[in-house]
Chain A
Amino acid sequence: MTAGPSVTHIEPRVPPPAFGRRDPDARGYFGPYGGRFVPETLVAPVAALEDAYLEARRDPAFTASLTAALRDYVGRPTPLYEAGRLGETFGLRVFLKREDLAHTGAHKINNALGQALLAKRMGKSRIVAETGAGQHGVATATACAWLGLACVVYMGVDDMARQALNVVRMRLLGAEVRAVDAGSRTLKDAINEAMRDWVATVADTHYLLGSVLGPHPYPLMVREFQSVIGEEARAQVVAVTGGLPAAVVASVGGGSNALGLFDAFVADADVRLVGVEAGGEAIVPGRHAARMAGGHVGVLHGTRTLLLQDDHGNVLPTHSVSAGLDYPAIGPEHAWLAEQGRAEYVHVGDAEALEAFQQLGRLEGLLPALESAHAVAALRALSGSLSQGAAVIVGLSGRGDKDVASVERLLAATAGSPGAEDQNVAHR
């Protein structure tokens, strides 16, 4: 095992996106999950998007322009960093895939640039997007500035409060941020509002969806634009360790960073794929976002997947300390990977995520996004089922600057309440 910090450096070559590796069926289904459940007005635009995407991914010029942008503008490849001090605490070799070092500070830019280039190719002049943690909104605003596209980002008012830094960033980048004061005032409601905008503006507008959600082709397209994460990580881990890792771990909101990282390893049956959902305060309705723990098959935002809902088919409110994981449905391909037993899903609560956030700062000098902190927090439980010294890749999907103010507030509140060591008590 490596004792001290080490930075993996291989030739700065950006692998092309893994197009066409695991396509859904012609109607956009991964097994029984996926599809295209949209109002009639969106049927034609979504079909046109599918055609344009399938055509673009066959065009070497499109791939070349995307790859060049990922290298020269985003700064890819991102490092695979062996977190030696963190690894020692678990008896593992822990490798962090450093998406926090990508331009704008999270993996979201990979998809935003891909879709913005596609929108430009389709002749669209305006982009709408939703955002939860604000990272997708920032990435979209960035891509729009870079390509000269008008940009409107919808964001729940609760998320605007807890991710205020990103609201400022989006506005500085020239985007219009529209507050959504409906429903649970979080990511779900921002998607509703972005879709309402798009249905009225389809002629000149592209909806730049930020995760592996929504009607076909979004789950496929977003995963393929994010597949660069896993392509790089696989080559990097092989170069350093001479083999494949025992496990690959990533947090799952909609699930784009996880699928982007998993994608290159799905065919490697011996590599465990571990998705980490938000356990929130407790696994009781309304207090978490662990779809695999409390979800039932349903249809939301254009796709059939596991959904947190009540007995009447209404979507339940969710809770997570992390705005990016605070969403009631999981990407349909995750539901399919789980059903096939190819990927396993665990959940991590608010308190454990906060602890991991601080742990990574103290041991490695890294402040992760609260989303990514969930993946780091899962290592403790996972280490019990891995052999000593096993190699594990953890998706460090984003940096934590946006969360610093929230974390400070939460820690102050926790310190001031009795029974602070018990998350179920501390947050009530």
Chain B
Amino acid sequence: MSRIADTFARLRAEGRTGLVTYVTAGDPDAARSAVVLQALDRGGADVLEVGVPFSDPLADGPVIQRASERALRQGATLDSTLGLIEGLRASLRAPIVLFTYFNPVFRMGTAAFIDRARAAGVDGVLVLDLPIEESAAWRSALDAGGLDTILLVSPTTSDARLREAGRLGRGFLYGISRLGVTGVRDAVAADAAPLAERMRRLTPLPVALGFGLSRPEHVAAVGRVADAAVVGSAIVAKIAEWADDADLGARIERHVRWLRGVEAA
């Protein structure tokens, strides 16, 4: 069983809502990115999504776009992202999902990427712009390399496609709870619950919902219909706000505990 599957099995056994956190690797720089990842893990994030900085993040809103720009300016790449993970893996408890656009991994080459990712201790890979139809060879290679293929589904995904994603995905299924790009919103989208219901009914995989979540009440609300909630832009915005604070790590750790509902703001 993969580290990701283990995590979701444990969440179900404990009857607890999981928290999946997203941050962009190398933001604001390599050293502080390591501090942030360790803080997220200490704060109790159940899965760490690590974003690969990319020049053209067309599924992301302004918060994550700016994080990508900051990281790229510091020289971050797919290779340095894998290096960051490799250096931290032994000290982290949570499984790691690499979150990337296709071109950087395509440029590195599938075989070379999988070797490097496995060696670095990556558990799963989510490619934003690689839909099922384009990814047959990619998914087999990941399976063979022992890496989970994390698939995204959306309110526009048909029931038939959702079943297909449930069959081909590994680890968990990531539901996009609203149409649009990533970013902080005030409330959980109306599309979220019906999507989660379809995901549960049509697939055997654990369900995580994301896009727009930023507060403990959002996480709790998602927990009523899904196994886990994904918080990305809200954390990335905090990293930007607290980047120059000496206690960046401690603040991020407290923020994660706040999101989980175990600490006051």
- Chain A residues near B (Cβ < 8 Å): 27, 35-45, 182-183, 188-189, 191-192, 195-196, 199-203, 296-302, 307, 309, 311-315
Cβ contact within 8 Å between A39 and B78: no
Of listed B56, B77, B134, residue having the most chain A CB within 10 A = B56
| Nearest-neighbor residue (CB-CB) of A191 within chain B | B58
**30 sampled A-B residue pairs with Cβ under 8 A:** A27-B134, A37-B134, A39-B152, A40-B152, A41-B155, A41-B156, A41-B179, A43-B131, A43-B133, A43-B157, A43-B161, A45-B156, A183-B55, A192-B57, A195-B58, A196-B58, A196-B59, A199-B179, A202-B156, A297-B106, A309-B107, A312-B77, A312-B78, A312-B79, A313-B103, A313-B106, A314-B54, A314-B55, A314-B72, A315-B56
Q: Given A37-B102, A40-B153, A314-B72, A192–B107 Cβ distance below 8 Å?
A: no
Beta-carbon contacts under 8 Å, B119-134 to A:
128-131, 133-134
Q: Is B21 an interface residue (CB 8 A)?
A: no
Is the beta-carbon distance between B59 and A311 smaller than 8 angstroms? no
For residue B131, which residues in chain A have a CB less than 8 angstroms away from its CB? 36-40, 43
- Inter-chain pairs besides A183-B56, A312-B79, 6 sampled, C-beta below 8 Å: A36-B134, A38-B131, A43-B154, A200-B179, A299-B106, A312-B108
A40 touching B56 by the CB < 8 A rule?
no
- Interface flag for B158 (CB, 8 Å): yes
Q: Is the CB of A37 within 8 A of B129?
A: yes
- Set of chain A residues within 8 Å of B106, measured between Cβ atoms: 297-299, 313
Q: Which of B57, B103, B154, B176 has the most CB of A within 10 A?
A: B103
From A202, A300, A309, contact of B179 by CB (8 A): A202
Give B residues with C-beta under 8 Å from A: 54-59, 61, 65, 72, 77-79, 102-108, 128-131, 133-134, 151-158, 161, 176, 179-181
| Cβ-defined contact, B156 with A311, below 8 A | no
Least distance between A143 CB and chain B CB atoms (Å): 24
- A contacts with B: majority SS: mixed
Give chain A nearest CB distance to B208 CB in angstroms: 14
Contact of B65 among A182, A298, A299, A302 (CB under 8 A): A182
CA distance A42 to B180 in the complex (A): 10
Contacts of A38 in B (CB 8 A): 129, 131
Q: Chain A residues with Cβ under 8 A from B56's Cβ? A: 183, 188-189, 192, 300-301, 315
Docked Cα-Cα span, A196 to B56, in Å, equals 11
> Which of chain A's residues has its CB closest to B75's CB?
A312
Determine if B107 and A41 form an interchain contact, defined as CB atoms under 8 angstroms apart: no
What chain B residues lie within 8 Å of A37 (beta carbons)? 102, 129-131, 134
List chain B residues, Cβ under 8 A from A35. Answer: 134
CB-defined contacts of B154 to chain A, threshold 8 Å: 39-41, 43
B178 smallest CB distance to A (angstroms): 8
A196-B61 Cα distance, complex, nearest whole Å? 8
CB pair B107–A312 under 8 Å, yes or no, is: yes
How far does the alpha carbon of A51 sit from the alpha carbon of B180 in the complex, in Å?
Answer: 23
Query: Contacts of B155 on A, CB cut-off 8 Å?
Result: 41
